[in-house]
Amino acid sequence: MKAMILAAGKGTRVRPITYTIPKPMIPILQKPVMEFLLELLRKHGFDQIMVNVSHLAEEIENYFRDGQRFGVQIGYSFEGKIDDQGKLVGEAIGSAGGMRRIQDFSPFFDDTFVVLCGDALIDLDLTAAVKWHRSRGAMATIITKSVPQEEVSSYGVVVTDNENRVRAFQEKPSVEEALSTNINTGIYIFEPEVFKYIPSGVQYDIGSQLFPHLVEINAPFYAIPMDFEWVDIGKVPDYWRAIRGVLLGEIKNVQIPGYQVAPSIYTGLNVAVNWDRVDITGPVYIGAMTRIEDGAKIVGPSMIGPNCWICGGVTVDNSVIFEWSRLGPGVRLIDKLVFGRYCVDKMGTAIDVQAAALDWLITDARQTPPAEIPPEHQAIAEFLGGITV
């Protein structure tokens, strides 16, 4: 069976992570989100998968290649161009436009097919969903889920009649304007006939253009509310909750990797730490080849990526530290995410530590640290009793 993963977006709401990592490659404890989607598709018999790529396309293509090692076949549709300097420049053409480009190249979608957004962890019975779709004679079906009223403005809202036929579709309405709390999860089932309603050669979106048009023409367009796990990673706070959920055991089918060295404490290979001289309270994951100096304190749920360097006197509390991060002596990170030169709070507000002249606190672990801490830095740390970022 055939499927498509939508992977061309810039992921602006997950910046600064998506400055260098495309959203489908965002790691959940070192494993890209899209890899979980491939596993789900393969489990339900979808082994021919097209992926539209644009922003940082080579990151996705170089990791997944042709899909052999994941037990599927993968093809890529690039949306963009090469500029005068020979650099790939992404120019996404919308989710429905991406579908249309693949079909125009050669009619790949010749039977019922599934389309998934590449930025969510899901545990859905796709087989049952496709069976329901076919039983209704649907041309298009959305898998929906109910959310609290205050969250509807982040999603496409789906309004149905008693037979689950879609009668209205609102793309990210205000809380006051929302007609339902059933939201679009970015999981779709289509018949090839849908391409009659997607124009060629233009930017065209599934949620804001295709679906309202299908409602307008009274097409056989349905929504099915299903009970399944859906962890959206559309924004930095969502990613934060996903990591916490995995560490706390709240998300099914996502295992904490590595070795359990103590209750709720997991590590990758060859971590350099004297367990008797650090204060660690789980759940905590520490990646391979990470050094944690004596006197450090780590409070879970926290994740420290591979190849990090946590200096003495550092506190990491309810935080996520990406790979190759060095936290200088006395740094206190509480409810923070460290990614490269950026320190981000759990609401998504970012500080560029380099621009703020704080890169002596948070830097790349591959840089050679100073032989001695400059007196002015030491004085600041001592005066403040440590530096809270």
**Cβ atoms of residues 223 and 166 within 8 Å:** yes
Tell me, what CATH number does 300's domain have? Answer: 2.160.10
For residues 124 and 39, membership in a common domain is answered with yes
Please say if the pLDDT value at position 114 is more than 60: yes
Confidence of residue 210 (pLDDT cuts 50, 70, 90): very high
| Lowest model confidence (mean pLDDT) among 141-155, 337-351, 359-373 | 359-373
Amino acid 98: pLDDT = 94
38 located within any domain: yes
Domains: count for the chain: 2
Amino acid 382: pLDDT = 42
Q: What range does the domain containing 171 cover?
A: 2-232
Please say if the pLDDT value at position 380 is more than 50: no
240 located within any domain: no
Confidence of residue 386 (pLDDT cuts 50, 70, 90): very low
246-282 core/surface letters (b: 16 or more CB in 10 A; e: else): bbeeebeebebebeeeeebbbbbeebebeeeebebeb
Nearest of 125, 91, 77 to residue 252 by alpha carbon? 125
314 located within any domain: yes
Amino acid 198: pLDDT = 95
For residues 204 and 335, membership in a common domain is answered with no
For residues 285 and 182, membership in a common domain is answered with no
Dump pLDDT digits (tens) for 53-95.
998 889 999 999 999 999 999 999 988 888 878 788 778 889 9
Share of the chain above pLDDT 70, in %: 93
Q: Last residue of a domain, which of 232, 267, 290?
A: 232
More confident residue, 180 or 387: 180
Task: Pick the most confident of 78-92, 221-235, 342-356.
Answer: 221-235
Tell me which amino acid residue 222 is. Answer: Y
For residues 108 and 194, membership in a common domain is answered with yes
Is 66 annotated for ligand binding? no
Measured in whole angstroms, how far is the alpha carbon of residue 132 from the centre of its chain?
Answer: 28
Mean pLDDT of 318-323: 93
For residues 37 and 177, membership in a common domain is answered with yes
Amino acid 78: pLDDT = 87
* Gap between the Cα atoms of 49 and 5, Å rounded: 7
If 0-12 CB within 10 Å is exposed, 13-18 middle and 19+ buried, where does residue 317 land?
A: middle
Q: Last residue of a domain, which of 198, 232, 266?
A: 232
* Gap between the Cα atoms of 236 and 323, Å rounded: 17
Dump pLDDT digits (tens) for 120-142.
889 899 999 999 999 999 999 99
Mean pLDDT of 319-345: 89
Tell me, what CATH number does 186's domain have? Answer: 3.90.550.10
For residues 53 and 164, membership in a common domain is answered with yes
For residues 278 and 221, membership in a common domain is answered with no
Confidence of residue 357 (pLDDT cuts 50, 70, 90): low
For residues 34 and 81, membership in a common domain is answered with yes
Mean pLDDT of 354-375: 72
SS3 130: helix
* Torsion angle of C-alpha atoms 310, 311, 315, 319, degrees rounded to 10: -20
Mean pLDDT of 10-32: 85
| Cα angle value 217/223/226 (rounded, 5°) | 175
Dump pLDDT digits (tens) for 38-58.
999 999 999 999 999 998 889
Please say if the pLDDT value at position 366 is more than 90: no
241 located within any domain: no
238 located within any domain: no
246 located within any domain: no
Please say if the pLDDT value at position 375 is more than 70: no
Please say if the pLDDT value at position 377 is more than 60: no
For residues 284 and 376, membership in a common domain is answered with yes
Dump pLDDT digits (tens) for 161-190.
989 999 988 878 888 888 889 988 989 999
Query: Is-cis flag, bond preceding 16, omega within 30?
Result: yes
For residues 98 and 62, membership in a common domain is answered with yes
For residues 210 and 261, membership in a common domain is answered with no
251 located within any domain: no
237 located within any domain: no
For residues 275 and 223, membership in a common domain is answered with no
| Lowest model confidence (mean pLDDT) among 5-19, 141-155, 210-224, 373-387 | 373-387
Mean pLDDT of 265-286: 95
- Mean pLDDT score of the chain, rounded to an integer? 88
